[in-house]
Chains A and B, each alone.
Chain A
Amino acid sequence: ETGVTQTPRHLVMGMTNKKSLKCEQHLGHNAMYWYKQSAKKPLELMFVYNFKEQTENNSVPSRFSPECPNSSHLFLHLHTLQPEDSALYLCASSQASLNTEAFFGQGTRLTVV
């Protein structure tokens, strides 16, 4: 365990569904990230939050909506997804402004049908 927990581990959803992915870290970090991992782009940065403020939106479609209510929790709200959004979604956390590693969660394997 790295101290970063993601739920659910697996998710199957239809294109008209609304679901949310959750990430929680117990490391006292103040930066959290969402990455998308697929065969096409192995580790693609989606969003960055520093001190609960979004500092990066890497041209992600609006059907993905992040939320960071506090430094320990990060959500990714999903609605009207497409089959090509099927991927492994990885959450990570780190200490912002320090040159230290990012710790990853186990990921949520998302399948859009």
Chain B
Amino acid sequence: GENVEQHPSTLSVQEGDSAVIKCTYSDSASNYFPWYKQELGKRPQLIIDIRSNVGEKKDQRIAVTLNKTAKHFSLHITETQPEDSAVYFCAAKGNEKLTFGTGTRLTIIP
């Protein structure tokens, strides 16, 4: 089955700096890669996603890149703000099953 690895598990960045979270997946059949943000006490919510026919996607301060050959994808957050502090999960979908990474706790230091 699919195995998704996510790094780092914790990340602290100064407000205004950029944050990068990386994920790898094992199943070459996976073709959909969403990123979720989970704030304390709340449910995970989608912030951006990318499909396998695209190498990069951007939405304001958030961007995701995908390298299908290497089977890795990354989340980039620029100009970080305190409200970006949360746990971020990457996921890979293949065979109709959504498998999540182990999460990254991002802390923005004011």
Which residues of A does B touch, CB under 8 Å?
2, 31, 33, 35, 41-43, 45, 48, 50, 55-56, 90, 92, 94, 96-97, 99-102, 104-107
26 residue pairs from A and B, CB less than 8 Å apart? A31-B96, A33-B98, A42-B87, A42-B102, A42-B103, A43-B44, A43-B100, A43-B101, A43-B102, A45-B97, A45-B99, A48-B96, A48-B97, A55-B96, A56-B97, A90-B44, A94-B98, A97-B96, A99-B31, A99-B32, A99-B49, A101-B34, A101-B46, A101-B49, A102-B34, A104-B43
Contacts of B22 in A (CB 8 A): none
Type the 1/0 row for B43-55, where 1 means its CB is closer than 8 Å to any CB of A: 1111001010000
DSSP majority for the B interface? Answer: strand
Which B residue sits closest to A58, measured CB to CB? B1
Residues A2 and B45 in contact, CB atoms below 8 Å apart: yes
Interface size on B, residues (CB 8 A): 21
Residues A106 and B43 in contact, CB atoms below 8 Å apart: yes
Among residues 59 to 93 in chain B, which have CB atoms less than 8 Å away from a CB atom of chain A?
87, 89, 93
Which A residue sits closest to B105, measured CB to CB? A42
Contacts of B43 in A (CB 8 A): 2, 90, 104-107
